């Protein structure tokens, strides 16, 4: 015979069903607690500054530029203007964080990968990166600085020129 009271009916329900209902309420309450409730909270915007070659920041040769990687998805792009003749470019990234695992990519004007430095730094957080490549005349190059394994930190990037 089935219980006629509300409490009696609830007691006959499977405990897994009650746990699922409780977890759902906790999840909804947790999400509502985390979502900001400021006047602009209904329009999230992402900072896209220097996150692609189209917004790359120009870098002067032999002049250090400071930067910061703020999260695992952050990457800074820098643009090297075309040179009149072929030169060897030396790229030096000084890591300002003892925990950041750095990575560096160099692209040409057609976004072909010229050089990548990342695998050799996975086991050495806090290390700096040195790269060198022969830049063709009248071709723009891009440098991407990023971090690996969701590490963050500051850095200084310097690009210098030497004759081949």
What's the pLDDT band for 126 if we cut at 50, 70, 90?
very high
Q: Which residues contact 35 (CB under 8 A, 6 or more apart)?
A: 41
* b/e code 81-96 from CB counts within 10 Å (16+ = b): eebeeebebbbbbbbe
pLDDT digits (tens, 9 = 90+) for 137-152: 999 999 999 999 999 9
* Residue of 70 and 10 predicted with greater confidence: 70
pLDDT digits (tens, 9 = 90+) for 15-62: 787 788 889 988 887 776 665 555 555 555 555 555 788 889 999 999
Looking at every residue in the chain, the average pLDDT score rounds to 86
Nearest to 80, CA basis, from 48, 129, 126, 115: 115
What's the pLDDT band for 116 if we cut at 50, 70, 90?
very high
* CATH code for the structural domain at 53-162: 2.60.120.380
- For residue 30, what pLDDT is reported? 75
């Amino acid at each position: 015979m089935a219980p006629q009271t509300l409490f009696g009916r609830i007691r006959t329900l499977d405990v897994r069903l009650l746990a699922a209902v409780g977890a759902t309420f906790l999840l909804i309450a947790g999400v509502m607690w985390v979502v900001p409730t400021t006047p602009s909270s209904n329009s999230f915007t992402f900072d896209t500054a220097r996150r692609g070659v189209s917004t790359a920041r120009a870098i002067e040769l032999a002049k250090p530029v400071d930067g910061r990687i703020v999260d695992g998805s952050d990457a800074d792009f820098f643009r090297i203007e075309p040179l009149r003749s072929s030169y060897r470019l030396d790229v030096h990234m000084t890591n300002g964080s003892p925990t950041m695992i750095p990575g560096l990519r160099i692209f040409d004007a057609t976004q072909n990968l010229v050089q990548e430095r990342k695998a050799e730094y996975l086991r050495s957080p806090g290390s700096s990166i040195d790269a060198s490549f022969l830049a063709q005349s009248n071709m723009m190059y891009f440098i991407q600085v990023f971090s690996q394994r969701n590490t963050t930190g500051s850095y200084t990037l310097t690009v210098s020129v030497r004759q081949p």
